[in-house]
Amino acid sequence: MLCALTVRKVKPGMASEFIENFRPPDDEVPGGWKRFFAIRNLADEDEVITFGLFDGDLDQLNASQADDNRYAERIAAVEPFIESTGTSGVFEVLIDQAID
């Protein structure tokens, strides 16, 4: 399992617009993607972290994004809302444990 994660600082007051435009529509999620999260820092509402869980290896993830024309469109659509980007990468999930 892989986790694609990006930390962004959005322009003041633009977090909701960013998330609405970045989030993939339910009927357009490419194969392999299992979950998508968008979270906002309680201490700084303009810091937004997005991450998704992908069930596959890095080659499969890259192929999934290359085959998804709308991914590039979503990235371009949110560009006006972004002030800066911090950490961004693909991480290997080492522990996946549900806690009741």
| 97 within some domain | no
Q: Residue 29's pLDDT is what?
A: 76
| 87 within some domain | yes
| 98 within some domain | no
| 99 within some domain | no
| 51 within some domain | yes
Compute the distance between CA of residue 64 and CA of residue 67 in angstroms, rounded to an integer: 5
- pLDDT band with cut points at 50, 70 and 90 for residue 91: very high
| 61 within some domain | yes
DSSP code of 37?
E
Q: How many helices (H) and strands (E) does the chain have?
A: 3, 4
Domain count within the chain: 1
Whichever domain contains 37, its CATH number is: 3.30.70.100
pLDDT in tens, 11-45: 999 999 999 888 877 777 778 889 999 999 999 99
Predicted structure pTM score: 0.86
Tokens (6 digits) for 54: 């992908």
Q: Residue 71's pLDDT is what?
A: 78
pLDDT in tens, 39-77: 999 999 999 999 999 999 999 998 887 776 677 788 888
> At which residue do the structure tokens 């322009």 appear?
11
Q: Residue 49: which domain range?
A: 2-92
| 64 within some domain | yes
